[in-house]
Amino acid sequence: MNSHDKVEAARPTSARPGGLIFVGLVAVSIWLAWQIGLQPFVQRLPPVVALRVAPQSAELLGKAAEEEWSRDNYDAAERLAEQSVRRAPFSVRAVRVLGLAKARSGDGDSGEQLVTLAGNWSLRDDPAHAWLMVEGLKRGNYATGFAHADALLRRRGDLQKDLFPVLTKAAIAEPAALRQLGVLIAASPPWRRSYLAGVLGTPEGMGLSATLAVALRRSAHPFQDVELTELYVNLDNSGQAGIMRSVRDTLEPQASGKVFDGGFESGRTLGPLGWTIHSAPGVTVEVVRDDDGPRGAVLHVIYDGYSGGTFVDQTLLLPQGRYVFTGLTSVERAGETPVLGWELICVGSSEPLASVRPTSDLPGKWVRFSAAVTVPSGCERQRLVLKGDLGDRRQTIIHKFDDLSVTPRG
């Protein structure tokens, strides 16, 4: 063994170059294990306490800033937020708290820019979007305010009960807010159906919904039949015939003052303004294809001639004037006396404006029937109903109806 080898053998392992590397790796491993084991423990601590264990953590600094802000310790919150941002400039929580602090101290522009950054970086930062929504509405910047309300509503369904009234009140009070609400609804957000259904709970809300229905008629997402049905049902139940007529005349001017789907071909339902078929004992009413004739879809009625009741009805919005109600019927099986009849009744009155019991001596042949109608002043809504008379005994009566209409007469 030469002298160099003897020196190396006598040198402690930790003093050798390879030994130093080994010792360093062991130390790093121990430190990493400590940090990994420390994290779950730190995460369970209150942020301010956790900072004493990991004072350099940008995340903990941001959490501590948020906690101090919630306790109204604004100076401490701003100081902690600044420290967090210096270590992690893209910390959403810290940037938001810093922005709130700037705005509170009077630097509104810088504060809004910082909170906006936080909201843009994370759609999940609810406090940022809530603050920006409120600030936008306070300043009359409805595009900004409603956009952040949309961000909250898309993610937090539980906020609907709090935010929907805010949108409604703003839209009722300010035309600019109404226009912006129309922009949001026209985009068909996932909360649209819930909003449109909920807004119908008050007369003001019904008026707002009617305005939106008209405003969105040429948009990419106009009101669907289910939304119109909910609107018409509520307007009908509250006696708002004038608003119903205005919406109907604007959306479907060709249907104004007419029987809706008198040919039973559309398959659409529009609440009271469409056909409502009622279930009743002793009667079967359905829209079917007339396979035995040229009529297409028809109303098919099988009645036992005994039970009585209203089988079909539709609300009409005829202005005051003189009309004629007409239709076609095919009697497959007639009773001893006519017991099926159509009536046009002014809503709120028991006296029919017109009544007709169609019959025919030609089984299976389509024949036309008609009745004169005069709508008096003050009769804003009418109901067209198909009724069955109470009979003394049961018998099978089968009728088909088609091509129902009400038209002005001279």
- DSSP labels, 10-33: HS-GGGSHHHHHHHHHHHHHHHHH
pLDDT score, position 46:
52
Predicted pLDDT at 362 = 80
Task: Report the alpha-carbon distance of residue 188 to residue 210 in Å, rounded.
Answer: 17
122 confidence band (pLDDT: 50, 70, 90)? confident
Residue type, 13: T
Cβ–Cβ < 8 Å for 358, 398: no
Q: How far is CA 284 from each of CA 151, 280, 303, 309, 353, rounded to the nearest angstrom? A: 49, 8, 7, 12, 26
pLDDT per residue over 307-337, tens digit each? 888 999 999 999 999 999 999 999 888 766 6
What CATH number labels 42-255?
1.25.40.10
What are the CA-CA distances from residue 152 to residues 148, 231, 389 (Å)? 6, 26, 56
Strand, coil or helix: what is 173?
Answer: helix
How many other β-carbons are positioned within 10 Å of the β-carbon of residue 243?
20
pLDDT exceeds cutoff 90 at 66: no
Averaged pLDDT, 246-258: 88
Section 66-89 average pLDDT? 77
Topology adopted by domain 271-408: Jelly Rolls (2.60.120)
What does the alpha-carbon distance between residue 332 and residue 350 come to, in Å, rounded to a whole number?
Answer: 31
How far apart CA 78 and CA 94 sit, in angstroms, is: 9
Structure tokens at 122: 């994370």
Most confident of 49-58, 107-116, 210-219, 348-357: 210-219
Average pLDDT of the residues in 378-390: 93
Per domain, the residue ranges of the chain are 42-255, 271-408
Q: What is the pLDDT of residue 33?
A: 39
pLDDT at 32 over 50: no
Cβ atoms of 390 and 315 within 8 Å: the answer is: no
